[in-house]
Structure 1
Amino acid sequence: MKNVTPRQASFQEDQNPQIMRARLSQWRIAFASIVGTMLEWYDFTIYNTMAALIFGRLFFPSAQPRVGMILAFSTYAVGYVSRPVGAVVFGWIGDRYGRRTVLVFALTLMGACTASIAVLPTFESIGIVAPLGLSIVRFLQGLALGGEWAGAVLIATEHGSAHRQGRNSSWAQMGPAAGILLATFVIGGVGIFMPDRAFLSWGWRVPFALSAFLMVFGLWVRRAVPETPVFAKSRHEAGAPPLVEVLRKHKAALAIASSSRIGTDVLYSLLLIFSIPYITQFLDMPRSVALGCTLTGSACELVAIPVFGSLIDRIGCRKVYAGGILAGSLITLAFFPVFGMKLPLAIFGLTAIGTVSHAAMYAAQGTFITNQFPSTVRYTGSSLAYTLGSLAGGSAFAPLIMSSIVGGWTGTWGITLYVMVTLAVTAAGIVAAGHRTPSEQS
C-alpha cells in the first residue's frame, strides 16, 4: 500500500465532498448572519447621513438648520421606539416556530421599508404628510429590526460548536461595519458624480433604492439555511409564553444583558453618527472629512471584530468587554479636544482607535447577551435585552440628545459626561454578570 504524506492527506480531506459541503454551509450561515445587520446599518448610515445633511431642508423646511437637524434625528429615534414591540412579537415567533422563519420575514420587511424611502414625496410635494410618512416607515422598520439581531446571532452560534461561540457570534456584529462602508461608498459616489442641486432634488433617493439588491441577495442566502439544531431540540420544551417566562424567571438576566448595550451604543453614536453633523456644521469642515471619518472607523471595526471574536474564545467574554470599556472611556475624554484641532489626520486617528475599542465590546455583545437566557426563551430574551438596552440609556436617542446638549450651557463637556456615565452603567452590568451563579446562567 502506498504511503500517504500528511500534505497529501490534507489535500484529500479538502477534496472530500462531505467536508466541502460542510464548509460551504458554514460560509452560507456566516453570510446569513451578516446580511441582515449589514442591510440594517446600510439603511441607518444613509438615513443618518441624509438627516445630518439634507433631510432638515426636505422634510422640515420651515425650521432653523439646527432645529431641522434635531427633527430629522427624531424620526431616526422613532425606529428605536418600535423595536421592543418587534422584539416581543418576533421573539415569540422565533422561540416557538424557528429562528429561520423570523429572519426571512424580518429581512423582507426591513428591505421593503428602506427601499420605500426612495419614492417618498418631500414636504414640498405633500406638506406635513411627508414627515409623517417618513416616521411611519421608520416605525415599521423598527418592528423588523426588533427581531433581526437576536436571530442573526443565534443562527450562527446554534449551528456552530460551543468552543467557537465568540467567533460565530461576531459574524452578525460585522454586518454594521460592512453596511456602513457600503453606504458610505454609495453616498460618496453619488455625491462625487452628481451636482449639489441634482443630489438635493433626486440623487439622495438612489442609495435607498439600491438597498433592494441587498435584500434580494440576503433572502437568497437565508432561505437555504436550515433551522438550528438547538431550536429543533428545545421546541418541544415550550411552556409559558416566552415574554411571560422572561419577565417571571429571568428579570436579572434581562437587566444585566440590557446594560451591556447602553454604553456601547452611546459611544458608537458619538464616534460615527453625531460626528457627522459636528464636523460639517459645528466645526464647519468639508463633508469629505465627515465621510472619511466614517470610512476609517468602519474599516477598522470590520477588521477588529473577528479578531476580538476569536480572542473571546481564548480568554473569555467579560475580559474582552472590560478592555473595550476602559479604552472607550479614554477615547471619550479625548474626543472633543482632538476634534477641536480641526486636523483631518488627527480626527481619523482618534476615530480609528475609538472604533477598535468599540469593536471589543461589540464583538463580545452577541455571546454575552445570548448566554444569559436558556434556549426556550433565548430569542425573546436576547431581542428584548438588545432593544431595551438601547432605550434605557438613551442610546436610541443619542444623536438627538447630543445635538441638543452641544448647543446648551454645558457644551461639549455635557456630551462627554453623558457618554462616560453610560459606559459606567455597562461596566456595572459586566461585573454583575460575574457574580451570578452558574445555575443562573445558560
Structure 2
Amino acid sequence: MASIAPVKDDRLSPRRTAFASMIGTMVEWYDYFIFGTASALVFSRIFFSSLDPTTGVLASFATFGVAFVARPVGAIVFGHFGDRLGRKKMLVLSLLMMGVGTVVVGLLPTYDQVGLLAPTLLVLCRLLQGLAVGGEWGGAVLMAVEHAPKNKRAFYGSWPQMGNPIAMILATLTFLAVVQLPEDDFLAWGWRIPFLASSIMVVIGLYIRLKVLESPAFVRMKEQGEQSRVPIVEILRYHWKPALIGMATTAAPNIPYYIGAVFIISYAAQRTGMDTNLMLIGLCIASFVEVFTIPASAILADRIGRKKVLMGGAFFVAAFAFPFFWLVDSGNPVLIVLALCLILGVGHATTYSTQATFFSELFPTKVRYTGTSVAYHLGGMITSGPVPLVATALVVWAGSSVPLSIYMIVGAFISIGAIRLARESYQDEINAAPKASLKDRTPSVSSRHI
C-alpha cells in the first residue's frame, strides 16, 4: 500500500506569517503617522480653534504625544496576555483597536460643533491608538521571528519593520493628495479621508492575520505548561538587564529617525525656505529606499551576527550626524534628499531592521512578548517622544545645528554601549521548549560585562 505524503500547511509558512505581520504593522503605523500629519496641518484649527494659533499647534502636538505615554501601558497589558494566551489573539485585537480609534477620529465633530467634547474625544482616540501600537509591535515581530528558521530569523523579523517606511509613504502621499483640495473643503471634510480610508486596510489586515497559525514556540511552551503567571514581574525580577539593554538600543535608530522624518520638515522650511511639499516628497523617496535597505541589513545580520550590524549602523549615525545637517543647510533639494536617504535608508535601516530579532533573542519564550514590547516602547517613550521638542529647544538655544548633531552622536554611543553588553545570539535556538530553571533562563547578556 503506497504511503500518503503529508500535506504541508501553508499557514505555517515563515514567508506568509512575516507578510501578515508586515501588513499589520503597516496599517498600525499608517494610522499613527496620519494622526501626526493631521496634528501639524489641521487639528489646531478644528479641535483647538478657541486657542491662539501657536497654542493650538502645541495642543495638537501634545495630543499626538499622548500615545507615547500609552504605548508602554499597551506593551505591559498586551505582553501579559500575549505570553499567556498567545501572540495571534493579541495581534488581531491590537489591529482592531487601532482601526476603531482611527476611523472614529475621521468621524469626530469639531470644537465649533460640540465644544470641549471634541478635543476630549480626540485624546481618547489617541490613547486607544497608543495602547494598540504598544501591543502591536512585539506580537508582530515575534510571530515573524518564531516562525522563521534559525538562519533567517533576522530576515523574516525585518518584514514587520518594513511596515514602518511603507506606512510613511502611504500616509504622506495620502495627505499630499487631500491638501490639494480647496482649503474650505480640506478643513470641512478632506482631512477625514485618510482616517476613513484606514478601515479598508484594517479589514484586509484582519483577513490576512486570521489566516496564519499561532507561533510554534508559544504552542510548545503552552503544551508544557510553562506560561508565566505575571510576565512583567518576571521581567523586573530576572530579566531587567536585557530590558535595559533593549531600551538603550532604541536611541541609535529613534533619535535620527524623528529628527530626519519629523523635525527636519519644519527645520528646513525655516532655515533654508524649502517648500514643505518638496520635503514630504523627499521623505517618501528616503522611505522607499529604506524598504529595500531594511531587509538587506537583516540578511547581513543573519550571516555575520546582530551585534556587528547594529553597532555598524550606530557608528554610521554618529559619523554622519554633522554631514547630515551640512547637506540640509545647503538648501539644495538634491543634497537634502541625499541626506534623508542616507540617514533613513542607511542609518535608521541598519539600526532598526535587526532590532526586532535582537530584542526577541534577549528574552525566553515565556516572557518574550512582554520583554520585547516593554523594552521597545519604554525606550521609544524616552528616545522618540521628546525628540522634536528637544531638537527645537537646542536650535533656539544655540542658533545652529551643532547641538543636534551632538544629540544624534550621544544617542548612537548610548546604543553602542548597550549592544556591547549583549551576547551575540544569531546562532541560538530560541524556539526550543524551556527545561532549565527560571534563573538559568535569564537573558542573553554577557557575564563579563555585568
Is the TM value for this pair above 0.5?
yes
Structure 1 or 2: larger helix share? 1
Q: Please show how residues 151-230 of structure 1 align to structure 2 within 5 Å.
A: 151-192=139-180, 194-230=181-217
CA offsets, 1:265-292, max 9 Å, x none?
Answer: 1111011111222234554332221211
Alpha-carbon deviation of 1:345?
Answer: 1.0
Alpha-carbon deviation of 1:309?
Answer: 1.1
Q: Tell me whether 49-58 or 105-114 shows the greater mean CA deviation.
A: 49-58
In the alignment, which of 91, 113, 118 is matched to residue 125 of structure 1?
A: 113
Q: Tell me whether 405-414 or 86-95 shows the greater mean CA deviation.
A: 405-414
Alpha-carbon deviation of 1:416?
Answer: 2.8
Alpha-carbon deviation of 1:353?
Answer: 0.8
Alpha carbons 1:49, 1:276 under 8 Å: kept: no
Residue 305 of structure 2 is aligned to residue 316 of structure 1: yes
In the alignment, which of 278, 290, 295 is matched to residue 301 of structure 1?
A: 290
Residue identity opposite 1:284 in structure 2:
G
In the alignment, which of 320, 339, 351 is matched to residue 361 of structure 1?
A: 351
SS in structure 2 of the partner of residue 237 of structure 1: coil
Q: Please show how residues 207-356 of structure 1 align to structure 2 within 5 Å.
A: 207-235=194-222, 236-281=225-270, 283-356=272-345
Alpha carbons 1:230, 1:375 under 8 Å: kept: yes
Alpha carbons 1:331, 1:350 under 8 Å: kept: no
Q: Tell me whether 396-405 or 417-426 shows the greater mean CA deviation.
A: 396-405
CA offsets, 1:83-118, max 9 Å, x none?
Answer: 111111110110000000100000000111111111
Question: Against the structure 1 CA distance between its residues 128 and 249, is the aligned structure 2 distance closer, same or farther, given a 3 Å change threshold?
Answer: same
Alpha carbons 1:373, 1:441 under 8 Å: kept: yes
SS in structure 2 of the partner of residue 334 of structure 1: helix
Count of residue pairs brought into register by the alignment? 423
The separation in 2 between residues aligned to 1:316 and 1:209, in whole angstroms, is: 42
The separation in 2 between residues aligned to 1:199 and 1:279, in whole angstroms, is: 25
In the alignment, which of 370, 375, 379 is matched to residue 369 of structure 2?
A: 379
Alpha-carbon deviation of 1:409?
Answer: 4.6
Alpha carbons 1:43, 1:114 under 8 Å: kept: yes
The separation in 2 between residues aligned to 1:206 and 1:283, in whole angstroms, is: 32
The separation in 1 between residues aligned to 2:142 and 2:316, in whole angstroms, is: 28
RMSD over aligned Cα atoms: 2.3
Residue 87 of structure 2 is aligned to residue 105 of structure 1: no
Tell me what 1:94 maps to: 82
Q: Tell me whether 301-310 or 198-207 shows the greater mean CA deviation.
A: 198-207
Question: Against the structure 1 CA distance between its residues 279 and 70, is the aligned structure 2 distance closer, same or farther, given a 3 Å change threshold?
Answer: farther
Residue identity opposite 1:350 in structure 2:
A
Alpha-carbon deviation of 1:334?
Answer: 2.4
Alpha carbons 1:52, 1:276 under 8 Å: kept: no
Alpha carbons 1:83, 1:387 under 8 Å: kept: yes
Alpha-carbon deviation of 1:327?
Answer: 1.4
Alpha-carbon deviation of 1:251?
Answer: 0.9
Residue 391 of structure 2 is aligned to residue 391 of structure 1: no
Q: Which 5+ residue runs of structure 1 have no aligned equivalent?
A: 1-15
| TM-score normalised to structure 2 length | 0.88
Residue identity opposite 1:349 in structure 2:
L
Alpha-carbon deviation of 1:390?
Answer: 1.1
Tell me what 1:441 maps to: 443
The separation in 1 between residues aligned to 2:285 and 2:418, in whole angstroms, is: 30
Alpha carbons 2:155, 2:299 under 8 Å: kept: yes
Alpha-carbon deviation of 1:157?
Answer: 1.1
Question: Against the structure 1 CA distance between its residues 23 and 116, is the aligned structure 2 distance closer, same or farther, given a 3 Å change threshold?
Answer: closer
SS in structure 2 of the partner of residue 226 of structure 1: coil
